[in-house]
Amino acid sequence: MPRAGHSLERPWNDSLERPGDAAMSSLLRLLFAPGFFASSPVHVALAVGGIAALVSGVVGTFTVLRGQSYSGHALADLSVTGGSASFLASISPLWGFAGTGVIAASIMEMIGIRQPRGRDLATGIVRGAGLGVAALFLYWDTTSTSTTGATVTILFGSMFTVGSSAIPLVLAFGLPALAIIAILYRPLLLSSVSADVAAARGVRVRLTGLACLIAIALAVSLAAVTVGAILSTALLVGPAAIALRLTSTPGRATVTAAVIAVASTWIGVVLAYDSFTWPPSHDGWPVSFFIVALIFLGFLAAQLTGRLRRVGG
Amino acid sequence: MFAPFMVNAWVMASIVAVIAGVVGFFVVLRGAAFVADAVPQGAFAGATGASLLGINTLLGLGLFALAGSLGIGWLSRRARRDVATALILVMMLGLGALFLSFTVEYSSEIFSLLFGEVLGVSTTEILPVVILGAVCVLAVLLLFRPLLMTSLAPESSAAAGISNGRMELVFLVIVALATSLTLPVVGALLIFSLMIGPPAAARSLTARPLAAMGLSVVLAVLTVWVAIAASFETNWPVGFFVGVGGAVCYAAGRLLAWLRTSRN
């Protein structure tokens, strides 16, 4: 049973033989622990994590622009409900995650109030009720199968236990999210900057908002399955916030956010693989910790350089 | 249901509900739902860290809740508040995941910290909660006017010589304190239902601040009592009933308010 943080179970430890080539430079060996490129769980993690990060980065730009970080976070938590339900029904968690996400997004938009304050409240209420139900499902999960690990798997996710069979599913959820953003790029941007102007130009603001929220739901449920429900917020908000601080146009920000998200995910995977030899447990540090730490440090750095530039200019 | 071993549960839960009702009133008023949501989850990471180091869980909770609150306050002066809150939250959760990976036995304890464990409260646990809870409620009552003014009319309160920044800080510290007290009882994921459901309902029922706060306390206490009773009968987790109860409060409040306006 996968456990929290121990995302690095050791399926590839058998293949831990050094690629014998002495030609492999010692620098490379320092960066990538032996066996990194030969390990198939790592390949899957890089692929699945990369797709999830890409989608989160792109969708995240609009999340941050529209001030919907909280909705994104709540949707990620709510997909926990779906995840625990799918454990009960023993279907693929991704279906549970994404299905609940889309339903919750619709409810939030339905009771949503226009001003951010009311919206936060509505988001919070839906989230609280959803998590209550999740608690019940998890309780049934754990009493019916006595696997307490289910709770932790659902909450923290485990990138290294996602099988390669998940890749088509991940694409099936990721592509619609990207498509929504691509198709609605201009109206979304317009209604994010000023809802009134957008409405005057004939944009259907509520419908656009709902579509955006569904894209967010798809993105976070995707990330929830790979890096964990709780930490998917990091991929959604972090890279986008950094990118918006560093660039001046929304288009550039979207691309930069995607690049930062993918880069931090991949570096996180590399570090997590390396951390096998680290104290205290020699069991690997959680990959989610590395990803979040990278993003957080990146955000602090971006804030600082932004301030310096302002002072300098 | 009222057997001796349940007495502590009732007492503890009632105290927690009073704290949540009082503090939650300002959470709703200030539109700080995300902060009130993030601090408990971040504090949960502190509890796992404390259990790793073998120190008092309440201390770990308190330290992380405080650090998280102050971090949010500090960072939101530089970035958008929702972004700052989200990033501080995920960083603390990342640390929590790291701590969890270092410990071996956690599953049941973690579950109870996330979703609440009211039935196993011992008498020695009640006293610190009573004292700190009293401090928390007293602080809110003493600062009621400035808190209210900065929440409702930041511009005019600045003109009246009340520092908005300082009151925000005070508010964040109060949220942190309330969080660390209530977390072990209702759980990290659901405190916040208790902190916003009943106060939001109260707010939609009455416009007078003190009456709304009183009503919010009453509703919170009722929610918790119903939740414990139901949990005792069904053996389902308390968190489920609290989460759903919070939403029911809010829905009922909105419905009543809507009925009243449509009748006029």
B4-196 CATH: 1.10.3470.10
A17 lies in some domain: no
In A228-278, which ranges are continuous DSSP H helix? Answer: 232-246, 250-274
Q: For B79-100, how does the pLDDT look when each residue is reduced to its tens digit (9 = 90+)?
A: 788 888 888 888 888 888 788 7
- Other beta carbons within 10 angstroms of residue B222's beta carbon come to 15
Number of residues written out for chain B: 264
Chain A residue numbers with beta carbons less than 8 Å from the beta carbon of B106 are 4
Amino acid at A46: L
Contacts of B91 in chain A (CB under 8 A): 292-293, 296
Domain with residue A62: its CATH number is: 1.10.3470.10
- Indicate whether A258 belongs to any domain: yes
Query: Does residue A135 fall inside a structural domain?
Result: yes
Q: What is the mean pLDDT of residues B178-182?
A: 82
**What's at B94, amino acid-wise?**
G
Closest Cβ opposite residue B111 in set A123, A126, A151: A151
Instruction: Residue A155: list chain B partners with CB under 8 A.
Output: 114
Give a yes or no: residue A27 inside a domain.
no
- Identify the closest residue of chain B to A121 by CA–CA distance: B33
The range of the structural domain enclosing residue A305 comes to 44-312
The count of CB pairs under 8 A between chains A and B is: 194
User: What's at B124, amino acid-wise?
Assistant: T
Write down how long chain A is: 313
Q: Is residue A155 part of a domain?
A: yes
Check if the beta carbon of residue B126 is closer than 8 Å to that of residue B175. Answer: no
**pLDDT in 10s for each residue of chain A, 313 residues:** 333 434 444 444 434 444 445 455 565 666 666 666 666 677 777 888 888 899 999 999 999 988 888 888 888 878 777 777 777 777 766 677 778 888 888 887 777 655 556 677 878 888 888 878 877 877 776 655 544 455 555 555 555 556 666 677 778 888 989 999 999 888 888 888 777 788 788 878 888 888 888 899 888 888 877 667 667 888 999 999 999 888 888 889 999 999 999 999 899 888 887 777 776 666 677 788 888 899 999 998 888 876 555 554 3
Listed residue (B238, B79, B149, B111) closest to A141, CA to CA? B111
What's the total number of domains in chain A? Answer: 1
Q: Which candidate, B133, B215, B243, places its Cα nearest to that of B182?
A: B133
Mutating which of B28, B39, B85, B87 best tests the A interface, going by the most A Cβ atoms within 10 A? B87
* Nearest neighbour of A64 by CB, restricted to B28, B78, B83: B83
The residues near B75 (Cβ < 8 Å, ≥ 6 apart) are A303, B84, B87, B88
Q: Which pair of tokens denotes residue A51?
A: 């797709």
Structure tokens at A65: 């622009």
- Look at residue A146 in the predicted model and tell me its pLDDT: 43
Within-domain flag for A10: no
Q: Is the pTM of this model over 0.95?
A: no
**ipTM topping 0.85:** no
- Cα–Cα distances in Å, from A61 out to A57, A253, A256, A283, B190? 6, 7, 9, 35, 29
Task: Give residue limits of the domains in chain B.
Answer: 4-196
- Nearest by CB to residue A128, choosing from B41, B85, B247, is B247
The rounded distance, in Å, linking the Cα atoms of A9 and B107 is 17
**Chain B residues touching A142 at Cβ < 8 A:** 111
Contact, B128 vs B58, CB < 8 A? yes
